[in-house]
Amino acid sequence: MTAARTPLIAGNWKMYKTEREAEDYIQALLPRVSSIDGADVAVCVPFTDLRAMVDSARGSRVEVYAQNMHHEPEGAFTGEVSPLMLSDVGAQGVVLGHSERREQFGETDRALALKVPAALAAGLTPILCVGETESERENEDTDRKLRQQIKDDLVNVPSERLTDVVIAYEPIWAIGTGKVATPEQAQEAIAFIRALVGDRDAQAAQGVRILYGGSVKADNAAELLALPDVDGALVGGASLQADSFAQIVGAAAAR
């Protein structure tokens, strides 16, 4: 890793935590991470927790991200939330293309091709999630899948903005399964993604942050975060407890 890439540890809460629970969590997290240097920290929270988390995290090192958005600034899209609404509430970023949204809610690469630049235009940091299924890995189809997702989802992002996108490599078979990718698998896939960005722009490849996600825990984080191309982690289950999440932040800062 080059000195220019500050690791990012992002906690994806998914559909967990009422506002009260979120408040208790952030009050526990802030003192645990306040003195840890050398890593950026974000919590990616349900829409209903955004306002409270932005207020509580203000002035701290913890950034607050959403987990999805529509690409249009406004319109007749019942049930959707716009990039403008997220930046207006004070969110600093947004998770896009999580495999749960792709698999269970029909999120397409076509939609992501619109969402990623829309997030950037609204001043939000997009965390674009990519990754292969178990059968794609078994069929040695991982590279093709990653190539297709990176190409299609970033097609409308100009080269000079590529480094403002965070990419999360999340092998679907490792999400919520306790089956973490081996360091070799994580490094190989993430180096491959970096090379794909390099096909677009060599300089962007050096600057873009690429995270690993999938069963990251306090006890395996250090090994994954030490890998040369891994610039942080997108953490699901282990981000729900302030203690374990803070330990992962500590592992990123200590590497």
**Residues annotated as catalytic (active site), given as ranges:** 98, 170
Instruction: Give the count of beta carbons closer than 10 Å to the beta carbon of residue 89.
Output: 16
Residues that bind ligand 13P (CB under 6 A): 12, 98, 170, 175-176, 213-216, 234-238
Q: Minimum CB separation from ligand 13P for residue 234, in Å? A: 4
Query: Residues near 159 by Cβ (< 8 Å), separated by ≥ 6?
Result: 200, 201, 204
Query: Residues near 231 by Cβ (< 8 Å), separated by ≥ 6?
Result: 1, 5, 6, 7, 8, 209, 210, 211
Q: Minimum CB separation from ligand 13P for residue 235, in Å? A: 5
Q: Minimum CB separation from ligand 13P for residue 168, in Å? A: 7
Query: Residues near 198 by Cβ (< 8 Å), separated by ≥ 6?
Result: 204, 205
Q: Which residue lies nearer to ligand 13P by CB, 82 or 173?
A: 173
Q: Return d(Cα 42, Cα 40) in angstroms, integer.
A: 7
Q: Minimum CB separation from ligand 13P for residue 210, in Å? A: 14
4, 6, 37, 78, 104 from 40: Cα distances, Å? 13, 7, 8, 34, 30
Residue nearest to ligand 13P (CB): 236
Q: Which residue lies nearer to ligand 13P by CB, 98 or 205?
A: 98
How does strand 40-44 pair with strand 8-12?
parallel
Q: Minimum CB separation from ligand 13P for residue 238, in Å? A: 6
Q: Which residue lies nearer to ligand 13P by CB, 205 or 248?
A: 248
Q: Which residue lies nearer to ligand 13P by CB, 59 or 106?
A: 106
Q: Which residue lies nearer to ligand 13P by CB, 86 or 169?
A: 169
